[in-house]
Amino acid sequence: MGRPRGAAGTTPQHAGHAETTPQHAGHAETTPQHAGHAETTPQHAGHAETTPRSAPDRLLAVLGAFDHAHPALSLTDISRRAGLSLTTAHRLVGALTEWGALERDPSGVYHVGLRLWEIAALAPRGLALRQVALPYLEDLYEATHENVQLAVRDGNEVVYIEWISGRSAVGVRIKVGARWPLHATGVGLALLANTDAEFQAAYCAEPLAAFTPHTLTDPARLRRVLAEIRRTGCAVSTRQVTEDALSVAAPVRGVDGTVVAAASVVVPVRDAHVPALIPSVRLAARGISRALGWHPERPERPELPEQRDRS
Residue 27's pLDDT is what?
38
Domain assignment present for residue 41? The answer is no
Shared-domain flag, residues 187 and 261: yes
Residue type, 175: K
Shared-domain flag, residues 167 and 229: yes
Residue 40: is its pLDDT beyond 80? Answer: no
Shared-domain flag, residues 280 and 249: yes
Domain end position, chosen among 92, 116, 140: 116
Measured in whole angstroms, the distance separating CA 205 from the mean position of its chain's CA atoms is 21
Closest by CA to 192, choosing from 131, 259, 102, 253, is 259
**Sequence-ordered list of residues with C-beta below 8 angstroms from that of 147, at least 6 positions apart, any chain:** 163, 164, 165, 166, 168, 170, 174, 265, 266, 267
- Residue-wise pLDDT tens digits, 106-159: 899 999 998 887 776 665 543 578 889 999 999 999 999 999 999 999 999 998
Domain count, the chain: 2
Residue 173's pLDDT is what?
66
Gap between the Cα atoms of 61 and 83, Å rounded: 8
Residue 293 main-chain phi, psi, to 5 deg = 110, 5
Shared-domain flag, residues 102 and 151: no
Average pLDDT, the chain: 80
Domain assignment present for residue 10? The answer is no
Shared-domain flag, residues 206 and 257: yes
- Residue-wise pLDDT tens digits, 167-197: 776 766 677 778 899 999 999 999 999 999 9
Work out the pLDDT band at 31, boundaries 50, 70, 90.
very low
Domain assignment present for residue 5? The answer is no
Average pLDDT in the 78-98 region? Answer: 95
Residue 63's pLDDT is what?
95
Greatest mean pLDDT among 41-45, 84-88, 173-177, 254-258: 84-88
Identify the domain containing residue 67 by its residue range.
Answer: 55-116
